[in-house]
C-alpha cells in the first residue's frame, strides 16, 4: 500500500494552472460583506484551491497493483491562515478548518458547501473554465475525487442521512442508490436500529389525549441499543394521535413498512400500507393489502425487498389460510398459495431463507394455540409440509424470533430457549425485571428483550449476548418505558 501525504504549503500543478486561468482582480464582481472579503485577492483564491485538495491524507492503494491493499484515510486537515482577524468569519478557510473528521457535524459540511456556493455564483461572471472546475467539484464534495467523497458520505450518522439528502441533488442521488447502503454495510458504517410500536407515557401525550381512558395509544419509537439513542418517529399520515393498533412493523432495506391494524379510536380494521424512508425522513402511501380485512396475521420480511403476510382472521372472526407477498420496490401485492391450515394469532418469521408461519389456532379452537408450523419456500413458491410439534409447548409464539445465527429463540417460563435443528433447549434465565416479556428481537448478535417486572409496571430493556448468554441492562428514558406491542430491526 502506497500512502501519499498531500503537501500543505505549495499548491499542486493542477491548482497552479487553474490559478493562472483566473482573471485579474478588477474583473471580479464585488459583493457586500463576506463575499467581498471572500474574493479579496488572487493568492487567497489559490489557498482555497489548495485546501480543497488537502482536505485529507488519502491512501492510493487503489492505484497500486496490490488489489488486496486497504486504503486508510485519517481525514485530517491542517491549519491555514485566514486573511482576516474577524473571529466570526465564515469564509471557506474558516469553514474548512472546522471540519476535523468525517461525521463530526453534518452542519459543518453544509456550511462548507454553502461557502462554495459563493464560488458557483462567481463562476457565472468568470467564464467556462471556472464554471467547469466548480461543477466537477460540486458533484459530491468540493475538491475530492468521487470515491473519496463517497467515503465521506457513507460515514454520515443514520439520523443525519435525511439532512444530507436535502443538501444537494448530487448527494440525494448518491444516497438513494442501492450501492450506497451496500457500501455502508461493507465498510462497517451501517447502523442497526430497532423501531417499535410503543404505548405513549401520559406526560408526553397531547393534552386532549391525556384524559382519555381505555387502552393505551401507541407511537413509533426508534432505539439504537449501541448508543442509547431513543427518539420518536413522525406520525403515520392520517393517524396523528396514535398509530393503528396491532399493525405490523417490518424493515425492508432502509425503509419501515407499516401494514394493517385498526383505528385506535373506532377500532375499524384497515388494510392500509405506509412506508417510511429513513433516507428522506418522509412517509409515502403504499397499495392497500388486498383480500379484505385481515387482523392478527403472521408477518415478516426478507429484509431486502419482500414482505410476507399469512393467516389472521377476517371481518367474521374466521381464521384464514390465505397468504400474500408485497414487493416494496414495485409497490405490488401478489397472492401466495394457501397454507394447509388456517391460523389466527400466528407468528411470521423469515428463517433460513423461508417464511415460517408458527403456531396460531383455527376458528373452531379459538384461543387454543397449536404447536405446528408451516414454511413457505420463496425459491419454489410453495409451502413445505406442515411441521408437527414445531413448538415445545402449545403457547402464544409472539416472542419467537430468528437470532441471525440460523437458530430460533423464544422466551417462555422465565427462560430463553433456543431451537437448533428440531429440538428446543434452555440457554439462559430471564432477569427478574423481565418476568412479563412484551417484545423480543435479534440485534447484532444479541437478543433484545423488553418487558416489565409486573403487569402494569414500566418496561425496561436487556440485551443478551448470543455467544456467552450474558445479560446487559439498557438505559431506558422514562418517556420510553411504555408497553411495546410490536417492532422490527432494520439496518440503515
User: What is the C-alpha separation between 160 and 177, in angstroms, rounded?
Assistant: 17
Q: Are residues 334 and 445 in the same domain?
A: yes
Q: Where does the pLDDT of residue 157 fall: very low under 50, low under 70, confident under 90, or very high at 90 and above? A: confident
CB atoms within 10 A of CB 78: 11
Q: Are residues 41 and 62 in the same domain?
A: yes
The lowest-confidence range among 31-45, 278-292, 297-311 is: 31-45
| CATH code of the domain containing 394 | 2.120.10.80
User: What is the C-alpha separation between 441 and 369, in angstroms, rounded?
Assistant: 21
For 334, phi and psi rounded to 5 degrees? -140, 150
User: What is the C-alpha separation between 251 and 84, in angstroms, rounded?
Assistant: 51
66 burial class (0-12, 13-18, 19+ CB within 10 angstroms)? exposed
Measure Cα distances from 389 to 77, 139, 233, 351 in Å. Answer: 63, 58, 39, 17
User: What is the C-alpha separation between 275 and 288, in angstroms, rounded?
Assistant: 12
What are the residues whose beta carbons fall under 8 Å from the beta carbon of 435, sequence distance 6 or more?
Answer: 414, 451, 452, 453, 454
Q: Are residues 256 and 306 in the same domain?
A: yes
Residue 80: predicted pLDDT: 32
Mean pLDDT, the chain, rounded, equals: 75
User: What is the C-alpha separation between 164 and 158, in angstroms, rounded?
Assistant: 10
H-state helical runs in 91-206: 92-98, 106-126, 128-137, 146-153, 161-165, 169-175, 178-186
Q: Where does the pLDDT of residue 254 fall: very low under 50, low under 70, confident under 90, or very high at 90 and above? A: confident
Average pLDDT of 314-343?
A: 95
Residue 137 pLDDT exceeds 60: no
Average pLDDT of 37-57?
A: 43
CB atoms within 10 A of CB 274: 19
Each residue's pLDDT tens digit, 380-411: 999 999 999 999 998 999 999 999 999 999 99
CA 418 to chain centre: 28
pLDDT above 70: percentage of residues in the chain: 69
Q: Are residues 269 and 134 in the same domain?
A: no
257, containing H or E segment: strand 255-259
Judge contact between 350 and 302, C-beta under 8 A: yes
Q: Are residues 161 and 226 in the same domain?
A: no
Listed residues 126, 151, 186: the one ending a domain: 186
Sheet bearing 323-327, strands edge to edge: 298-301, 306-310, 323-327, 332-336
Q: Are residues 177 and 202 in the same domain?
A: no
User: What is the C-alpha separation between 408 and 404, in angstroms, rounded?
Assistant: 8
User: What is the C-alpha separation between 119 and 135, in angstroms, rounded?
Assistant: 10
Listed residues 186, 219, 247: the one ending a domain: 186
- Name residue, grid cell 409447548: 393
User: What is the C-alpha separation between 83 and 324, in angstroms, rounded?
Assistant: 66
User: What is the C-alpha separation between 410 and 360, in angstroms, rounded?
Assistant: 15
- Of 331, 291, 328, 333, which is closest to residue 312 (Cα–Cα)? 291
Judge contact between 427 and 438, C-beta under 8 A: no
The lowest-confidence range among 85-94, 109-118, 197-206, 313-322 is: 85-94
Residue 135: predicted pLDDT: 41
- Of 451, 454, 439, which is closest to residue 409 (Cα–Cα)? 439
CA 305 to chain centre: 14
Q: Are residues 242 and 264 in the same domain?
A: yes
Residue 19 pLDDT exceeds 50: no
**Between these two residues, 134 and 296, which has the higher pLDDT value?**
296
Q: What is the DSSP string of 317-332?
A: --B---EEEEETTTTE
Please list, residue by residue across 27-53, b when 16 or more beta carbons sit within 10 angstroms of its beta carbon and e when fewer do: ebeeeeeeeebbbeeeebbbbbbbbbb
Listed residues 162, 186, 210: the one ending a domain: 186
Which grid cell is 80? 491555514
Which grid cell is 322? 390465505
Q: Are residues 158 and 210 in the same domain?
A: no
Q: Identify the domain containing residue 37 by its residue range.
A: 3-186
Residue 145: predicted pLDDT: 79
Each residue's pLDDT tens digit, 224-235: 999 899 999 999
- DSSP 3-state of 359: coil
Residue 365 pLDDT exceeds 80: yes
pLDDT above 90: percentage of residues in the chain: 47
What are the residues whose beta carbons fall under 8 Å from the beta carbon of 344, sequence distance 6 or more?
Answer: 296, 311, 312, 313, 319, 320, 360, 361, 362, 363, 366
Total domains in the chain come to: 2
Each residue's pLDDT tens digit, 455-480: 778 899 999 999 999 999 999 999 99
**Between these two residues, 190 and 116, which has the higher pLDDT value?**
190
44, containing H or E segment: helix 42-53
Q: Are residues 129 and 205 in the same domain?
A: no
Residue 204 pLDDT exceeds 80: no
Which grid cell is 176? 438513494
Cα torsion at 250, 255, 256, 258 (round to 10°)?
-90
Q: Are residues 215 and 140 in the same domain?
A: no
pTM of the predicted protein model: 0.72
Residue 267: predicted pLDDT: 87
User: What is the C-alpha separation between 394 and 397, in angstroms, rounded?
Assistant: 9
Q: Are residues 261 and 306 in the same domain?
A: yes
Cα torsion at 49, 53, 54, 59 (round to 10°)?
180
Each residue's pLDDT tens digit, 292-320: 889 999 999 998 899 999 999 999 999 99
Measure Cα distances from 306 to 83, 270, 302, 330 in Å. Answer: 57, 20, 6, 10
Residue 362 pLDDT exceeds 50: yes
Q: Are residues 44 and 164 in the same domain?
A: yes
Amino acid at each position: 500500500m502506497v500512502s501519499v501525504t498531500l503537501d500543505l504549503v505549495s499548491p499542486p500543478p493542477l491548482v497552479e494552472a487553474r490559478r493562472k486561468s483566473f482573471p485579474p482582480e478588477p474583473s471580479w464582481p464585488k459583493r457586500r460583506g463576506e463575499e467581498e472579503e471572500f474574493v479579496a485577492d488572487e493568492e487567497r483564491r489559490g489557498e482555497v484551491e489548495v485546501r480543497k485538495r488537502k482536505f485529507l491524507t488519502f491512501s492510493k492503494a487503489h492505484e497500486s497493483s496490490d488489489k488486496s491493499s486497504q486504503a486508510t484515510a485519517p481525514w485530517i486537515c491542517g491549519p491555514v491562515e485566514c486573511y482576516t482577524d474577524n473571529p466570526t468569519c465564515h469564509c471557506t478557510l474558516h469553514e474548512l478548518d472546522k471540519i476535523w473528521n468525517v461525521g463530526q457535524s453534518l452542519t459543518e459540511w453544509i456550511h462548507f458547501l454553502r461557502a462554495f456556493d459563493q464560488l458557483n455564483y462567481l463562476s457565472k461572471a468568470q467564464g467556462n473554465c471556472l464554471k467547469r472546475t466548480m461543477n466537477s467539484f460540486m458533484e459530491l464534495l468540493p475538491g475530492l475525487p468521487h470515491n473519496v467523497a463517497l467515503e465521506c458520505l457513507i460515514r454520515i450518522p443514520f439520523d443525519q442521512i435525511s439532512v444530507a439528502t436535502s443538501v444537494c441533488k448530487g448527494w440525494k442521488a448518491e444516497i438513494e442508490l442501492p450501492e450506497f447502503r451496500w457500501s455502508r454495510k461493507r465498510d462497517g458504517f451501517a447502523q442497526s436500529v430497532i423501531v417499535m410500536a410503543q404505548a405513549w407515557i401520559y406526560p408526553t401525550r397531547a393534552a386532549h389525549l391525556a384524559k382519555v381512558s381505555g387502552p393505551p395509544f401507541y407511537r413509533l419509537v426508534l432505539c439504537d441499543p449501541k448508543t442509547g439513542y431513543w427518539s420518536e418517529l413522525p406520525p403515520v399520515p392520517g393517524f396523528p394521535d396514535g398509530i393503528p393498533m396491532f399493525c405490523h412493523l417490518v424493515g425492508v432495506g432502509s425503509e419501515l413498512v407499516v401494514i394493517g391494524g385498526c383505528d385506535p379510536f373506532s377500532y375499524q380494521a384497515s388494510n392500509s400500507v405506509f412506508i417510511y424512508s429513513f433516507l428522506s425522513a418522509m412517509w409515502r402511501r403504499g397499495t392497500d393489502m388486498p383480500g379484505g380485512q385481515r387482523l392478527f396475521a403472521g408477518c415478516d420480511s426478507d429484509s431486502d425487498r419482500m414482505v410476507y403476510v399469512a393467516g389472521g382472521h377476517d371481518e367474521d372472526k374466521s381464521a384464514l389460510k390465505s397468504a400474500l407477498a408485497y414487493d416494496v420496490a414495485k409497490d405490488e401485492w401478489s397472492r401466495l398459495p394457501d397454507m394447509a391450515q388456517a391460523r389466527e394469532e400466528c407468528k411470521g418469521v423469515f428463517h433460513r431463507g423461508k417464511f415460517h408461519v408458527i403456531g396460531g389456532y383455527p376458528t373452531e379452537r379459538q384461543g387454543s394455540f397449536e404447536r405446528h408450523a408451516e414454511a413457505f419456500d420463496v425459491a419454489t413458491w410453495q409451502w413445505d409440509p406442515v411441521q408437527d410439534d414445531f413448538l415445545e409447548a402449545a403457547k402464544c409464539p409472539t416472542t419467537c424470533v430468528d437470532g441471525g445465527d440460523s437458530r430460533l429463540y423464544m422466551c417462555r417460563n422465565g427462560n430463553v430457549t433456543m431451537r437448533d435443528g428440531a429440538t428446543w433447549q434452555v440457554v439462559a434465565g430471564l432477569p427478574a425485571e423481565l418476568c412479563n416479556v412484551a417484545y423480543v428481537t435479534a440485534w447484532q448478535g444479541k437478543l433484545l428483550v423488553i418487558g416489565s417486572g409486573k403487569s402494569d409496571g414500566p418496561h425496561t430493556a436487556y440485551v443478551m449476548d448470543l455467544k456467552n448468554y450474558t445479560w446487559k441492562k439498557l438505559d431506558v428514558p422514562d418517556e420510553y418505558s411504555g408497553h411495546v406491542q410490536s417492532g422490527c430491526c432494520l439496518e440503515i
